Each structure stands twice: as C-alpha cells, then as structure tokens.
Amino acid sequence: MSTISSSVTSAVQSSYSSSGSSGSDVSGQISRIRQQITQLTQQLKDLSSSDADADTKEKQQELIQSEIEMLQAQLAQLEQQQAQKATNSQTQNQTQNQVQAEKKAEGVNYPSATNKIDIYV
C-alpha cells in the first residue's frame, strides 16, 4: 500500500511541477503527462493483483483514477493551447504574406494607379 501511495504522490507532484513550467515547452509537458497516465494505468492494473484488503484497494483505485482524470484534463488543456498557438501562428503568417503582397515596389518599372505614364507615339 505504501508503495502505491508514494508513487501516486510522486506522480501528483511531478504533474504539478510540469504544469508550472513555461508554456514554451508545451509538447514536452504533453509527453510527460502521457507518460504519467501510462504509469498510473499500469499501477491501476497492478493494484488488482496486490495482496491488500478490498477496502484499501478500492481507496487506492479511486485515488489513481482521480489522478488520471486530472492529468487527462490537463492534457486536453495543453493540447488546446498548442492548437491555438498553431492557429495564431498560421494566421500571423497569412497576414504577413498579405502585407508583403500589398507592398509592391512602385516606380517606373512597377506602375501603379497613381504612378503611371501614358506614352503615345
């Protein structure tokens, strides 16, 4: 029981520390959370074969499941944040491309509506 309890506690602490780090490493946080979910799922499977009493198993199972749910919510939030950053980046690139397209060089070789000479021979 203490092994499972201490490993769940360490998983909780590492998830909180990863959520507090900077947003620039979102993909790293996502991979760490997925790894923690995998570890907790394995602990949940191992719990069924442990020789603890039924009440202890049930409490540990509830604890692990709530931790998995919290991590899944955090994972969904990070994935949404990552998707939003990608969308913002794409929109910004499109805006820059439009500005560059509108910024054509003007002059003799590039006539515009305001800078055009009609020559009749």
Q: Is the pLDDT of residue 10 over 60?
A: no
Distance separating alpha carbons of residues 105 and 103, to the nearest angstrom: 6
Cα-based angle 32, 61, 56 (whole degrees, multiple of 5): 135
Distance separating alpha carbons of residues 45 and 30, to the nearest angstrom: 23
Contacts of 48 (CB under 8 A, 6+ apart): 57
Residue 71 near residue 12 (C-beta atoms within 8 A): no
CB atoms within 10 A of CB 71: 22
**Residue 113 confidence (pLDDT):** 72
- Cβ neighbourhood burial of 82 (10 Å; 0-12, 13-18, 19+): middle
Residue ranges per domain, the chain? 2-102
Percent of residues, the chain, with pLDDT higher than 90: 43
pLDDT tier at 6 (50, 70, 90 boundaries)?
low
**Residue 1 confidence (pLDDT):** 47
Average pLDDT over residues 34-61: 91
pLDDT tens string 64-101: 999 999 999 999 999 999 999 999 988 988 888 887 77
pTM of the entire predicted model: 0.60
CB atoms within 10 A of CB 40: 21
**Residue 35 confidence (pLDDT):** 96
Residue 7 near residue 63 (C-beta atoms within 8 A): no
